[in-house]
Structure 1
């Protein structure tokens, strides 16, 4: 049991001593009002940009000035106005999810519904459509390239799990051994997918055709123009 009368308690994450904030107000200050002082996390120590380009270049693993710079790039693309434009898209994905669940119920599988698979389908369909304006076809009965690579990403081999346990149990190893969270073939696929989506959108705009909504890809193109 945790003593809730104090602000924080000491815990162990395997062999690593850590501080756990238990006071709700203090937790809010850490995650909201003073987050700029607490954005670094333990996972960052296990990631190497040379070996894991995609995972190392997201705000959840970046640290220091790199985190501040990337956050400044990403935040304007997630404004209330842009989120509102993709709200109908999210509703459409929710509708497809409901139809898929109803279909699985009618099929009456003895194993029930795989919650992990369902969550991956919903997340991949939502992110792909809201960010890139593409359809992942996640709820399709036939295999699709995007879902195939997402499954590869979330079904890591036993060696990855063993590696993660070792670096967590012996933190000093994280300075010598770097985890690769995104397999090379998955990284190449999504880098190519992003590049193809950008080129297709540029060609569409060059022909005078406007996309039906202002999504995150539209913001990325705007950011690219400013930097060039």
Structure 2
């Protein structure tokens, strides 16, 4: 009774009410930073900040905000952030002054063990982990996996053939999702999951569910908007991701690690690179990633390090899921562009016929010689980047970038989609023109105007593999089929507004015609 009276009396309520008012007032004062300093941007609300102004997502709505507020404006979503469309400023932030912005914004919750992944690692630890795993993504390593990817392409071509002529069209999201998951499983972890033959494969189902995370999920919002809630999540082991999905992937990686430790499997893949880190010593040849030393700070290390079990698990799952979703989305958009740009598809097919007329000719080295293929994919990723934006965080000290003070503790958001569609940066940005990226024109492109994989030292580790995987799939499909629209093709495709991933919620539906049939019709 005494405890009840202590907790539920007028003095306690008054004290709690006063603390809440102080917290709300202090938090709102921070959110009013941009207004107080004459920096344009949407007006923040108490607690919610500017969240209500971004319910349309981070794609075309960002272009409208740039027109309204200019190239640099303020917003508040947990942290105060500068949203920057000025690519000269971004070049300083991401490259030349990287030492002031080496990290992503800290997450308010850990969601263990995912907080141990390279994406969330900070400063010297990030550099060391990146140097440890980056050798698995070198050109010499990728040349060794041609046969693995070609085997996955065999099944992809077979599944497209099975869908040919079916009512309702071919759902690219399903077929490319299975393909990209198989490639990642085989190339990264030596797992043969054969998801393309079984679309109900648990790998596919769990990967799809993992990316069905809504940006406006209450659990996520509370963690960002109310300081301390994330620490409560950590204290009580509250998982932001679905616990069953997390357990599925962690169990898969754990079993794969066990087999490597026992010597049952030995392959030169990314999992083996991580598992072998406990054997590292000071005499090992240094194959560190030179990118991570750009703007390197004196206290950080660029050497390889032994990874903990949690770090191996977290990075494995991160590579698994990132490799699945972004490549799947990219390939879906490529299929859409092939279908809606038939003349450019034929130009690409001519290049395919010249360099890789048969599946046996499709290799890393051959693909690297195909200029128009590279241009076509780059232009697709410009118009439809799989990720709408990325961030950098200033936790080193106040810094001025192009006359704009960015205080310590402030986030920088890079609106990738908006930059890719900005008419001040790209001529007729809505027009699909692969020629923008040919040898004659590439030198005219600003270094930080094309960002599907980010840029600078924290650019995507898997860029080479993702491009290779997409090129293999496109060439192998064009060898067999002409990709065309069908009544179910959504033109233009709707983009996801509920998260930072743009993948169309309705997928991409196309149809295919056998090359022999297409050639006969063209001749007539």
TM-score of the two chains, using structure 2 as the length reference: 0.35
- Residues 13-52 of structure 1: pairs in structure 2 closer than 5 A: 17-42=80-105, 44-48=106-110, 51-52=111-112
The one of 226, 242, 249 equivalent to 1:183 is 242
Q: In structure 1, what is the Cα distance between the partners aligned to 2:258 and 2:231? A: 39
- Residues 1-228 of structure 1: pairs in structure 2 closer than 5 A: 1=64, 2=66, 9-12=72-75, 17-42=80-105, 44-48=106-110, 51-53=111-113, 55-109=114-168, 113=171, 115=173, 117-141=174-198, 143-156=200-213, 161-168=217-224, 170=225, 172=227, 175-176=230-231, 178=233, 180-201=239-260, 202-204=262-264, 211=267, 214-226=268-280, 227=306
TM-superposed deviation, 1:137: 1.7
1:135-176 Cα distance to aligned partner (Å, 9 max, x none): 2222123532322332332345x79822223445x2636654
Q: In structure 1, what is the Cα distance between the partners aligned to 2:120 and 2:91? A: 20
Equivalent pairs counted in the alignment come to 211
Q: In structure 1, what is the Cα distance between the partners aligned to 2:168 and 2:84? A: 43
**Normalized per residue, which structure has more helix?**
1
Range with bigger deviation, 218-227 or 31-40: 31-40
Summarize the Cα distance change of 1:221–1:15 in structure 2 as closer, same or farther, 3 Å threshold. closer
Summarize the Cα distance change of 1:34–1:138 in structure 2 as closer, same or farther, 3 Å threshold. farther
Range with bigger deviation, 132-141 or 13-22: 13-22
Q: In structure 1, what is the Cα distance between the partners aligned to 2:141 and 2:100? A: 28
Q: What is the Cα-based RMSD across aligned positions, in Å?
A: 3.5
Summarize the Cα distance change of 1:32–1:104 in structure 2 as closer, same or farther, 3 Å threshold. farther
DSSP 3-state at the match of 2:74: strand
Q: Is the 8 A contact 1:82 1:216 kept in 2?
A: no
TM-score of the two chains, using structure 1 as the length reference: 0.71
Summarize the Cα distance change of 1:219–1:14 in structure 2 as closer, same or farther, 3 Å threshold. closer
DSSP 3-state at the match of 2:191: coil
TM-superposed deviation, 1:73: 2.4
Summarize the Cα distance change of 1:90–1:107 in structure 2 as closer, same or farther, 3 Å threshold. same
Q: Is the 8 A contact 1:77 1:219 kept in 2?
A: yes
Report the counterpart of residue 57 of structure 2 in structure 1: none
Summarize the Cα distance change of 1:107–1:221 in structure 2 as closer, same or farther, 3 Å threshold. same
TM-superposed deviation, 1:194: 1.8
Q: In structure 1, what is the Cα distance between the partners aligned to 2:259 and 2:230? A: 41
- Is there any run of 5+ residues in structure 1 with no aligned partner, and where? none
